[in-house]
Amino acid sequence: MKDVLYPGDKLDGRYVVVSHFKYGTFGPLYVIENLRGGAKFILKVNLPLEEMLEGSDGTINPGAAQTAKINHIGRTLKEVETTAKFNHPNIIKVIEWVDFDKYKGIVYERIEDVKTLEEASGKLSMGEYIDTPILLDYAHQLINAVRYINGKGYLHKDLKPKNVIVDSGITLKIIDFGCSNPIGEDNGIYGNIFYRPPEFFQGRQHPNSDLWPLAMIIAEIITGYYLLGEKDEHYVDDVYRELIGNPNQYEKWLKNNLRKTFRLPRKIEKLKGESGEAEEVDILFNVCKSFLKVRPDKRIDYSGNLDKKNFREVQEILERDED
């Protein structure tokens, strides 16, 4: 995918492009500024089909072949319609659908000092870590937002660190609903291969499909590293084949990976001489472990708020699930 707009470009006499933000599934995203009021927003450009398939070197991107059959304008309008149904502090708000001559797209609310969760977590090193209260707060926000989306009868289907943005006040917002569809109405579009749940590799979905990538994102927040190890499509495809073919063995492997990941916040608590959040960290580990069940119907079905006062209730649900 290539850029089509650049800083300083004016759009319909109403906006000016400030900077590139990220690449989405169906087009690039930019930070734009209203020429009259100075307010900043995020513009998601819906590329014409031929440009969406064309890479920066002029060749056709084979990874976009799946999208070639999609009415991309229809998908964007559907995304606007879907996102407009949500009213949640951790879900991006749609401002308007725009048509700027050659390019069409969606204008979203702008968050100050915004970055993707992938950028915010980064590659963590010795002496650099995320404070446990912030980790728990991030997890609460994400879980609440995803369960809200699912409770409204929708699947996001493309949850990944790049599709979660964070502001300077550590408020998270889920973005990019280009792959979303109502639960029970599979549109055949599946998101990034590295965060897909196993059932997506089998061409099916489940009301709990969003919980798998949610656990992977939470694990990645802790260390900055991908839970499965290597972000290589062939490697990940092989891992998922094994997961589907031998779920008991590979669920144990995943659980061990997850346990190693959660050692970090536990060690931090000990190094700081604190233990106030130890119980919450342990319960969050168990919640994520439950989300990483190969069978989606075995993933915990908990729709309450995952704040501290409800963590004991979550633990009781998990204990019943183990029985």
| Helices 278-291 + 211-223 axis angle, to 10 | 140
What local confidence, expressed as pLDDT, does residue 235 receive?
A: 92
- Report which DSSP code applies to 91: B
Task: Report pLDDT digits (tens) over 22-71.
Answer: 777 667 889 899 998 888 898 988 776 555 555 545 554 555 445 444 45
pLDDT of residue 150: 93
Between 26 and 261, the higher pLDDT residue: 261
Q: In angstroms, how far apart are the furthest CA atoms of the chain? A: 63
User: What is the spatial distance between Cα 76 and Cα 81, in angstroms, rounded to a whole number?
Assistant: 9
Q: Tell whether the torsion through CA atoms of 293, 297, 300 and 302 is positive or negative.
A: positive
Mean pLDDT of 268-297: 76
Provide the whole-model pTM: 0.81
Q: Is the pLDDT of residue 149 over 80?
A: yes
Which tokens go with 56? Answer: 């920066």
SS3 109: strand
If pLDDT is split at 50, 70 and 90, which confidence band does 172 have?
A: very high
Domains of the chain from N-terminus onward: 10-109 (3.30.200.20), 115-322 (1.10.510.10)
- Please give the full DSSP string across 231-253, using - where no structure is assigned: --HHHHHHHHHHHHHSHHHHHHH
* pLDDT computed for residue 86 by the predictor: 93
- CB count within 10 Å of CB 230 equals 11
